[in-house]
């Protein structure tokens, strides 16, 4: 029969071994987690100020390329699956679609100039994904806001998404909204008329087809 004292010693030893095992496992997990976080950074430990400076360079160069109509540099700053969203509701473009839109202007040396007034950059914990918002100034449109997402690659940061919007003061928002709705209604009416014209033409063509006797 096992004595109570011996049973207590066995229980204490088992508890001690379990505690040591958990401590070792926890330390190993923590070390592995730290290694994993470090390994997710392409160049070692994350240096937030340096990465923010790199993203600033990406965006400053992006706007400079647009202003100087340098299409090669401009589109090289996008990721392969990048998206650009312009100020018009119809302007949601892939890189290829945006290239086709911009090519005639860039070919003639005509770009577009947006001057940075302020910018805010945020990074995720891995240092591989960032997002930003910036306020820009344009001679025709006034103040605009650009927002987007960037990702870090072996050859530097790339734009995955860029969205450009107009900044409308609250004091004139109702007027701008009413004008926008008016334009949208006219566009919808025009599309409806065009659709009816196409259908009428199709019906006329069908009526004029010779009958098979």
Q: Tell how strand 129-138 and strand 115-123 pair up.
A: antiparallel
Closest among 67, 39, 209, 71 to 138, alpha carbons compared: 67
How far apart are the C-alpha atoms of 106 and 68, rounded to whole Å?
8
How far apart are the C-alpha atoms of 179 and 157, rounded to whole Å?
39
- Interacting residues of 47 by C-beta distance below 8 A, sequence separation 6+: 127
What b-and-e string marks burial along 66-94, b requiring 16 or more CB atoms within 10 Å of the CB?
Answer: beebbbeebbebbbeebbbbeeeeeeebe
- The reply to whether the predicted model has a pTM over 0.85 is no
Q: Beta partners for 164? A: 146
CA 193 centroid distance within chain: 37
Could you tell me if 145 and 136 are in contact, meaning their C-beta atoms sit under 8 angstroms apart?
yes
How far apart are the C-alpha atoms of 86 and 90, rounded to whole Å?
8
Residue at token pair 């066995």: 10
Q: What is the full per-residue pLDDT of the chain (213 aa) written as tens digits?
A: 445 454 445 444 444 444 545 444 444 434 443 333 333 455 567 899 999 999 999 999 999 999 999 999 999 999 999 999 999 999 999 999 999 999 999 999 999 999 999 999 999 999 999 999 999 999 999 999 999 999 999 999 999 999 999 999 999 999 999 999 999 999 898 877 776 666 566 666 666 666 555
Angle ∠(77,133,143) on CA atoms, nearest 5: 100
């Amino acid at each position: 029969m096992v004595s109570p004292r011996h049973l207590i010693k066995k229980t204490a030893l088992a508890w001690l071994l379990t505690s040591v095992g958990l401590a070792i496992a926890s330390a190993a997990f923590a070390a592995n987690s730290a290694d994993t976080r470090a390994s997710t950074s392409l160049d070692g430990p994350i240096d937030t100020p340096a990465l923010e400076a790199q993203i600033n360079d990406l965006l400053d160069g992006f706007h400079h390329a647009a202003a100087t109509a340098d299409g090669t540099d401009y589109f090289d700053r996008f990721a392969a699956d990048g998206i650009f969203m312009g100020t018009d509701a119809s302007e949601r473009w892939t890189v290829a679609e945006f290239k086709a839109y911009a090519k005639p202007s860039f070919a003639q040396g005509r770009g577009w100039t947006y001057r940075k007034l302020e910018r805010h950059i945020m990074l995720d914990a891995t240092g591989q994904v960032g997002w930003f918002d910036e306020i820009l100034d344009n001679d025709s449109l006034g103040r605009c806001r650009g927002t987007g997402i960037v990702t870090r690659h072996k050859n530097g940061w790339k734009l995955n998404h860029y969205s450009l919007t107009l900044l409308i003061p609250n004091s004139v928002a109702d007027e701008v909204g009413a004008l926008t709705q008016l334009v949208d209604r006219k566009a919808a009416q025009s599309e409806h008329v065009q659709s009816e014209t196409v259908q009428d033409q199709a019906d006329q063509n069908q009526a004029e087809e010779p009958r098979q006797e």
